[in-house]
Structure formats: C-alpha cells, structure tokens
Structure 1
Amino acid sequence: MATFNFYLDKTDRKGFAPIHLRINCNSKQVKVSTKEKIRPEEFDKETQSVIDTAERAIEINHYLGYLRDRAEELFNNSLKKKYTDDEIKDKLTDFVNAYKEGHDINIVKKPNIPNGEAFTFVDLFAGAGGFSEGFLQAGSNNKYFEFLLANDINDNSELTHLVRYNYQLGLDAEFLCQDITEPDFLDNLLAKLKGKQVDVVCGGPPCQSFSLAGKRKKFDKKDDLFAHYLEVIKVLQPKYFVMENVKGILTKERGKIKELILTEINSIVDINEVPKLSAFVNALKKANPEDNFILDCLVKRIEMEQFTDAKAEVEKENYIRTVDSRFKKLTPNIVDYRTSKTDTRISTIRHGFNLLIRNKEWEKLKRDIIREKDFCNIDNDAFVDTFTQFLTHLDSQEIIDKIQQAFKELKVEKKFRKQCEDIIHALKIYVLNIDDCLSIIKTFCNKRQVTELQKIIEEIRLYRIEAPFVANSSNYGVPQNRERVLFIGCRKDQKFISEIPATVTEEEKVSVFEALYDLDFIGNDEEAHHYQLIDISKQYNGTANKMKGLLKTRSIEGKPLAKKGKTFAEWSRSGRLNGRFTNTTNPFYVRNAEALDNNQKDYAVLHNHKTSKQGEDVIKRLDIILKEGDYKNAQEKLNKCGLASNKRNYNVLKPESQSPTVMTIPDDYIHYNTPRALTVREMARLQSFDDSFVFQGKRSTGGNNRKSELPQYTLVGNAVPPLLARAVAMEILKNIK
C-alpha cells in the first residue's frame, strides 16, 4: 500500500522552501520535486496544504491535490503493476513540467507566421470549434486561414475556445458569447472584428423548427437562427460562407424547406447593384401607369436591402407609413365617417398598421416570451397552445392576413376595389424576400424587358449556389459515417464551389479500430491521464494479425501511404496543426471560468479519458449485446436474463468499419472490445479531434440541465468533424481569390 505526503526542503537565501512529494511503498521511498516554493510558515503540515492567506494559495493547493491524485492513479489504476524509481519519477515529472511550463512567464520567439497569403474566417454557432480546428489545419498553395472570431451562446463553448485558441495556441481570436437573435448582436460582432475583412463565414444554425411562410409550429429559440445567420452574411459579405445542417433538412416539408433556404440565399443582394434594379423598375412605370403605386413599393422594398439594423428598421417603418397614408386617403371613399370610427373591420386594418409599424418592439417582446417559455419548459402541456397562438398572432404575415380579411368583409364598391387590392399587395411585398420580388417585377415586363431584367438579376445576386452538397465524414478520413448537408455560398467574384472532393476512397476509409485501439487500456469507472502501451498480440490472441492488419500509415487527411505518414492514432497524438503554432503550450483542463481565473489548471499527457461508473447489471447487459453484435439480436437473451432495457438503441462499434453518427449521449455506444460506454476522448477520436484538444467543464449532464449546459459529451457530439472542416477549408483555399 502506497502513502503520499508533501514536505518542505531546506529554505533558500530568500527564505523560500521547495515543496516535495514523498511516496512510500513496500519500505521504499521516491521523492519528486513539485518545482514550487513557499515560505515555511505558509505550509500546514497537518492538512498538507498552503494556508489560505498565502499568495497563490488556491492555485498551489489545486496543483498539489492534482499531483497527489496522479500519483495515486499511477499506483491504483494502472495496468502495469511494477515500476522502477526512475519510471515513477519520469511519469510524475511529466505532470510537474507541464504545470511549470504553463505557469512560468517565458520570452518566446515571434509566432511562426507562414509565408503566403492569409484569409480570415469567422465561426458562428461554433460549439466546441470543429470548423475552427479544421480551418486552422488547412493550407494550400501558400494560402492559409487566420482565425478572427467565434460565437456561441454557451459559457462552456467560450471556455473551451479560450483554453484551446487563446491560452494553448496563443491566438488573438475573439469569442462573442451572445444569442445571434439579440438586437445588438451585429453591433457587438462588428465591434469585436474591429474593421477587419472577413473572407469566410462558417457555421451550422439549427433549423429544427424552421417552417414555411413564417408559420412556425413551436416557437422556440431555434426558430429564427437561419434568418439571423443570413443577416450576418448580408453585413459581412464574405467571399464564401458554409452552412452545415442535418441531412433531414433536404426532405423536410417535401423539400420545400431546402428550396426556401436556397431562395433566401439567392435573395442576398450586391448593394452596389441596387440602384440599377431600382432604375429598371422605375422605368416600368411608363408602360404601367395604373400600377405605379405597386412599382414604387417594389422599389422601396428593394432599396431596403442596402441598409442594416437601425437604418433598415427606419425604412421598414417608413414603408408601412406610406401604405397606411394611402389607406387613410381611401377610407372616406369606402365608409362613412361614423363607420370609420366604430367599425371593427376598419379598426382591424388601422390597428394592423400600428402593429406593423411597431414590428421591432413586437419582435423584442416575442424574443423575451420565447426565452421565458423555454426557461419554463412550456411544451407538450396545457400551456403550449396559448403561447403558440399568441406568438402566431404577432407574426407580420398573420397581421397582414387579418387586414386582408377585414378588407374582404367590407364589401367595397367596385370602383375602389383595386385601390384596396393595391394596399394588400403592398403589404405582401413588405414581407417578401428579393427573389419573390423579382418574380413580381417580371409580371410587368415585356419579352425584351424580361431579358434585360435577367441580366440585372445575375448581377444583383451576391452569391451563387445551385444545390446543397451531402458530405459523409468518412469520405474525409473521419472514422465515422456522419452525413451532413453543406450549403456553400460563393460570392459572385469568386470561383464557384459545388462540392467537396473526397480525400479517401471507400476501401481507404479509417476504421474504428485505427482510431481507438491505443486508448483501450481503461476499465469501468476509471480515468487515465497518460497513455499506456497496448500489446495487440496479447489483447486479441488468435485475431491479433487481423487487428494489426487494420492499422495503416496515412497522410493527415487519411490517405494510405506506402512510406512516411502516421497512423490515425499517431496523428491524433502528435496533432494535425503541422507545427504552425510554435509557441503552443501544453494542453490543460479547467472545471469552469472561475478555475481558469484562479489558475486551477490540470495538466496531463492525456485528457478527457474517463469511463462512467456502471452497475453490474448494466455491464452484464452491455456484455450480452456486445457478444451478440447487435442490440436487436440480443433482445431474447436479455429478456431471459432479466436484463431488458427501455433504451431504444445501443450501437455496437465494429472495429473493422466506421462508427455510426456520434451523438451527445455516450451510453448509446458500446466499445467493440469491452462492455462499456465510450469516453469523451474516444468520441473525440471518432470525430477526428486531436488529443491536444481538451474539452472543458462538466463531462455530462442530464434532465433540464441539458437546456442550459453544454458538457463535454455534448460539445463533442454536436461538433463538425475537424477533418471534414479541413477538407472544406482546403477546397476554399484552392479557389479563393
């Protein structure tokens, strides 16, 4: 049985005493220097800690506790049962040196800026930073990416970003922790960018509740994220943007959602070309005198695209006021004075205009209600319909529908009907996108004018996109069959990109075994902070040669190589950043932002490799499923053994193939060799994250906490695989001008 305690050595000339860790085991003793010094009166021998009033007490005590834990882990949780004195010292000294390197102030050489051309990128809905990681790995023809800013709403995303990119890699990349739907989001984004040009924007706005024609079905926080993502694109006008989403978006509402997304992208205009289109529409008024009001409305709607934020809101308000003014002039012609003051239909029209004029204020109110609704978990209950109906009635399209119905019920004289129809038409134009406005303009054109308009349309559309591209991550060196849809918007002055070429063939794909075999030294309820040697011959006995045959030497993107290269596991250990960041510090973990502020950093060789504590029945259940090879096939045996589960599915990993899509719940997967769930590090390997990328904060969470917290498993499961992002970045670098 080993014992561990700290003691002070002799004081130096300045009165500071070095702290040492002493390990006693089987009458033998090993001493390891912690490389920390304190004044003797600041050390409490009884508690083995620095007294609270000492400088850096919180930081040093955290470090001493962490070092003791690593020593205990070495003796209690290691596959190896015999160590020499030097082996113990070497392993613990690794932790000590990593700690000192992370805390000492050093003069370092100037960051290694590659020779070549830098292009900037911004990562929205960044989560852990899969897009960011892949873009920083990319380099092509002396071109590379410079990371400007990431955004997400979750504190743990920000913490993971700060640790990885600011502390570890030493980058100046900003992080904006704010909901993209908030009114001042764009202002804050632009303030953090400090006038820098953005060449590429990437991100995956969730579109779960996105629906047609503004008729949203749930009204949750994810409703407007796509629209707000495009608002950022309109303001930044990057050379390329990449929008990632689930494959189901292609078939949602029979493909209409996909078409709507493409239409909205096509509606982003080059503001420099707006005057040309306005002039063209104004010229149509000569041949269409009776429709001058509608044509004027189309011009106003088109010109709104030149403005953002405050100015855009003013223009929207002015538009409605113009239509309202037309209605006020028309009112005496369609109803008498008394009716105009008391009739419900007239009041509906008049008040509808008031609601539309105050649209900005109502949008703020809707956002607050939706936030409170989500906070109170209003869903699948007696309250949800009331909230949905109220929020639906505040939608601009719904208000316009009610105004239209009120006009119908008035039964206006025939000679004034067109004026009424024009008012309704004008209101409908107000909520249309540019693509739909262009369709209306065509109805006023003759053949020659249609041809002329088509040329203007080609010039006014800022981005070109034909169709979304379905990308399977396994085609890019990721050991996982994860299909995602990519919408790639190409600015009209850039080369067109329609797809991302695969980096590996079907036969060359990376297997689960290649990704995970060297981490297979951990059991139930264990945590490892350093790698251990894996002996495949002993572990797999009769099938060792088959398993060894799965290991391939590969290029960074997964292409098998006859010479040089590394295995997937070796790439994961050494990292895929290609030595670009010369002043990179050792990876570390912190519990939260407060721990980061207090320098309570946990340095280790290996991070995020901890298994869950699973009961005996769970282990037996997983063992049966593992041996049967499939959850469905195991049902009969599980029922006989009294181990049946209500869980919908377990995915047994197949060592020779790719994993299914990695999600956010580790219990969904069973390790191919051991009846257990996967660790965060193993799931990160299946996503193609380097081992030096440390996921911060809690490992997991449950219940209602899932709404507000983003633990490590969720960060991993929601991420874009870095090697897929790298392939996207490489294709952009090959084409960008």
Structure 2
Amino acid sequence: MRFIDVFAGCGGLSLGLLKAGCEGIIAVEKNSMAFETLRHNLIEGERYQFNWPDWLPKQAMSCEDFLNGYGREIGQLKGEIDLMVGGPPCQGFSTAGRRNPTDPRNKMAEQYLELVKIVQPKHIVIENVSGFNSKFTERKRTGGEREQYFKKSYAEFISEELSKIGYTVSRGKVNCADFGVPQNRYRYLIICSLEGDPNHLDELLQSRDRFLEDKSLPKSRPVSVYEAIADLQIRDRKLEENKDSGVRGFVEAVYEAPEVYSPYLAIMREDYRGAPNSRRLPKHKPETIVQFAKIQRESQPGRSLSKEAREKLGLKKHAITVLTKNAPSPTITTLPDDIIHYDELRILTARETARIQSFPDWFEFTGKYTTGGKKRKIECPRYTQIGNAVPPLLAEAIGVFLTERNQHFLQDELEIVQEGAINAGS
C-alpha cells in the first residue's frame, strides 16, 4: 500500500506503516526540526527510504505550501495512492488548552480535506487527541458580540465532509495501551474507505489480539513502564559526556544492554546492538531534587498530583505525575517535567519518553532537546517531537490491519473477475 503522510511530525505514523510493509511516497511536515528527524530516519534512512518523487524537494513545508506549489503534480497522484494518513495539529481544539474555534490551526483540517479531494486515496486514517470530538460552545463577549463557534465537533465536521466526497467513515476513541504501547494514551481515530465498509474501527479493535500475538506481547495486561525503560536507569551507571546534542556540560549514563530482553524491549532493540541516542540527563538543581522527593511522598503513583498536594508543596504546575513501575505511563506530552521517574529523582530522558511512545532504539532524534520562551511557538525540539508523535506500534497495527484488509478485497475482486471469465467462456 502506497501512502502519503500529512502533518507527519517526526514520523511516528510513517514508521509504523513502513514496518507494516507499506510504501512511503510523500511526507508533508511544516516544522524543519521535526522534518529533519523524519528525513534522517525514514526518507533517506539506513533501514527505510521513501519512494520520493523527483518533482518534490525533500524539505519542510506546510500543507498549504504543498497544495499551492505543486497542484499539477499532486493532481497526477489521483487514484495512485492507497492510503493518506495524518492528524491536523490539535492545539486549536485540545481539551487541555483554550478551545478557540477561530484558531488558525483549525484551518489545517480543511487543507487536509482539500488534499483528499484532489488525491482521492483509497483509505484515510486521521489520528488526533480525544478532544477532537468535543463540541465548541458559544460564548458572549463584552458589548453583546458573540464569538464565532461551531455547533459540531471537528471530528463530526471532517467526517461529514469525507462522506460527501464518497468515503464511508468509522470513528471513535482507542487507548494505545491496548496495542502494546506502555502508555494510557487515548486518541481519536477516523478510518475511512472508498470501498463502502463502515466497520473499520471495530475490525481494527478485533485484530488487536492477533497483532499482540505476532509481537509476542501480553494480551491480558498492558505493558509496564518498567518493561519499557528499566535498562535506561542511571543508578550505579558510569556517567560520560553527552555528545549528540551539540551542547557542552551535559552527561548521560553509559548504556549497558541487558542479557535478557522482555518481549517489549526486544521490539525496541530489534537487531540493534548500539546505544540509543537522546539519553542526555537533565541538570536538576539540588532544591529541585529535594522537591521531587517530596512529590514522590505526596503522590499516588500513576495519578496526577492532587490539588491539595500541589498547594501543600507550593507547586504552580497543574499536572505532574510520578510513574508507577508496574503499570503503563500516563500520556506522554511535549513537556518533559510533567512526569517523574518511578525510582529515580529526575524527569525522564528523551529516549525514555521515546521508548514509552514505542520508538525503537535505532530511531535517532535530531536537533536540540528543549526550547523555551517565544521559540516554543516555532521550534520543535526532541521532547516535543516525541510527545506529538503517533506511537509507531499503534500505527503499525493500523498498517497491518489495512494491508490485510486490502489484500482480502483484491482477492475478492480477482475471484469475481475469474468467475465472470468462466461464465463468459461457458
């Protein structure tokens, strides 16, 4: 199956689809930092390479730039693409933020629909935050004016528009932990097809057990964070200078691969013998470490610190969680200080968050680790790339499901043609 990834980020969806045997054609990503990670690993990577068209430069660009700059060439892709994937940026309608219906980032969903109309892929997968299906509400402004609003959610809007184009739509929430990701990450999926089957999401969920069996992952319980990151602990490890960020003064723990891998770790290490990158340790001040110890004492592992505990500790931060060793992580976000290690007084390294997102160790993140101030609006450092990504394991499960379904459809079509030929001959 040939696919296009739009709003591709650092490549979580693309990686999963490539691992499922799909063929990458084009990836559209506006941020140059995220695109560089994608290009380095998947477009021109050692393990995977997109079958990139000669007419399109391998560089970051927005969906709008893609449509305006290459309209004629995009038109020639009509009927040639099996799958289009991508989740329009969620900041405009995330329940975690200010839900502003006039946010220009919401327009990116409409650009995505315009691209669908031109290319008309056989299948479409849109992944987004669970709040994607929450409705906007009308609010009065001072002076009697009313803000612009939508009576329906963006998920409803997009689904109705896709139905008008001719797609059957299946949509709903999934928990990434159900597909082997060591993280309770609830996402909203819209799966569409031109072939008329409205039960894609149900069928995907039904394929879960077989996917986990093929990966040797447990079906009766979720994968724990301990299984995902235990080998990345720093206690009793020698520390050395970190060299993959280009900034002096940071250290990382020398990596020692365990002799025996858990099933999940075996997937993360797949035929890779080296030390993964992005293991730079944060520089915590002594008072910060003391604060982490207090947070661990006051917290209920696996649950965000209560309002009472935050007030007792004098914390202004609204969300901070201490991991539970033998349970999945809460949702990995773009803010590294949202989560504290289950056994060490520190936040997670970028590689640990990548493991929890199910990125394998050979996948190398590029660019700076963090950013701040006004740069947050324009830069996409490693922690942000990882937090925004679709977990590759979930993407792979989707790719396997759609590939098998497409094969069955083609087989049915072949049998119909053969039966028709036999009847014509008789």
Instruction: State the TM bucket, normalised to the shorter chain.
Output: 0.7 to 0.9
- How many angstroms apart in 2 are the aligned matches of 1:701 and 1:190? 36
Deviation at 1:634, TM superposition (A): 9.8
CA contact (8 A) 2:79 2:119 kept: no
Q: Report SS of the residue matched to 2:70.
A: helix
Hey, what does 1:152 align to over in structure 2? 29
Determine whether 1:261 maps to 2:143: no
Letter of the 1:491 partner, please give it.
L
Deviation at 1:218, TM superposition (A): 5.9
Deviations 1:109-165 (A, max 9, x none): xxxxxxxxxx10111101011101111111xxxxx3111111110111221122102
Deviations 1:215-255 (A, max 9, x none): x9564431311111111111111110001111112222377
Q: Paired residue for 1:532, among 223, 240, 256?
A: 256
Hey, what does 1:478 align to over in structure 2? 181
User: What pairs up with 1:403-552 in 2 under 5 angstroms?
Assistant: 462-465=166-169, 467-492=170-195, 497-499=200-202, 500-501=204-205, 502-503=208-209, 507-521=220-234, 527-528=251-252, 530-532=254-256
Superposition TM-score, scaled by structure 2 size: 0.76
Q: Paired residue for 1:697, among 367, 371, 379?
A: 367
Determine whether 1:181 maps to 2:64: yes
Deviation at 1:527, TM superposition (A): 3.4
Unaligned ranges ≥5, structure 2: 53-57, 138-150, 213-217, 240-248, 411-426
CA contact (8 A) 2:268 2:359 kept: yes
Deviations 1:172-205 (A, max 9, x none): 4444522212484462693698789211000001
Q: Judging changes above 3 Å, is the alpha-carbon distance between structure 1 residues 217 and 612 closer, same or farther for their aligned structure 2 residues? A: closer
Q: Judging changes above 3 Å, is the alpha-carbon distance between structure 1 residues 695 and 188 closer, same or farther for their aligned structure 2 residues? A: farther
- How many angstroms apart in 2 are the aligned matches of 1:676 and 1:477? 25
Hey, what does 2:41 align to over in structure 1? 164
- How many angstroms apart in 1 are the aligned matches of 2:315 and 2:199? 51
- How many angstroms apart in 2 are the aligned matches of 1:708 and 1:207? 15
Q: Report SS of the residue matched to 1:659.
A: coil
Hey, what does 2:424 align to over in structure 1? none
CA contact (8 A) 2:28 2:66 kept: no
Letter of the 2:36 partner, please give it.
L
Deviation at 1:495, TM superposition (A): 8.2
CA contact (8 A) 2:341 2:348 kept: yes
Q: Judging changes above 3 Å, is the alpha-carbon distance between structure 1 residues 195 and 229 closer, same or farther for their aligned structure 2 residues? A: closer
Hey, what does 1:346 align to over in structure 2? none
- How many angstroms apart in 2 are the aligned matches of 1:634 and 1:260? 36
Deviation at 1:493, TM superposition (A): 6.2
CA contact (8 A) 2:168 2:198 kept: no
Identity of aligned residues (%): 32
- How many angstroms apart in 1 are the aligned matches of 2:310 and 2:378? 39
Hey, what does 1:372 align to over in structure 2? none
Q: Judging changes above 3 Å, is the alpha-carbon distance between structure 1 residues 626 and 256 closer, same or farther for their aligned structure 2 residues? A: same
**CA RMSD, 1 decimal:** 3.2
Hey, what does 2:413 align to over in structure 1? none
- How many angstroms apart in 2 are the aligned matches of 1:608 and 1:193? 40
Hey, what does 1:569 align to over in structure 2? 265
Q: Paired residue for 2:13, among 104, 119, 131?
A: 131
- How many angstroms apart in 1 are the aligned matches of 2:72 and 2:331? 32
Hey, what does 2:243 align to over in structure 1? none
User: What pairs up with 1:46-61 in 2 under 5 angstroms?
Assistant: none
Unaligned ranges ≥5, structure 1: 1-118, 139-143, 269-461, 536-550, 554-565, 576-585, 588-603
Hey, what does 2:245 align to over in structure 1? none
Between Structure 1 and Structure 2, which shows a larger proportion of helix residues?
Answer: 1
Deviation at 1:644, TM superposition (A): 2.6
Q: Paired residue for 1:244, among 120, 127, 148?
A: 127
Determine whether 1:235 maps to 2:235: no
Hey, what does 1:671 align to over in structure 2? 341
Deviation at 1:267, TM superposition (A): 1.3
Q: Which has the larger radius of gyration?
A: 1
Hey, what does 1:706 align to over in structure 2? 376
Letter of the 2:361 partner, please give it.
D
Deviation at 1:262, TM superposition (A): 2.0
- How many angstroms apart in 1 are the aligned matches of 2:72 and 2:391? 25
Q: Judging changes above 3 Å, is the alpha-carbon distance between structure 1 residues 527 and 574 closer, same or farther for their aligned structure 2 residues? A: farther
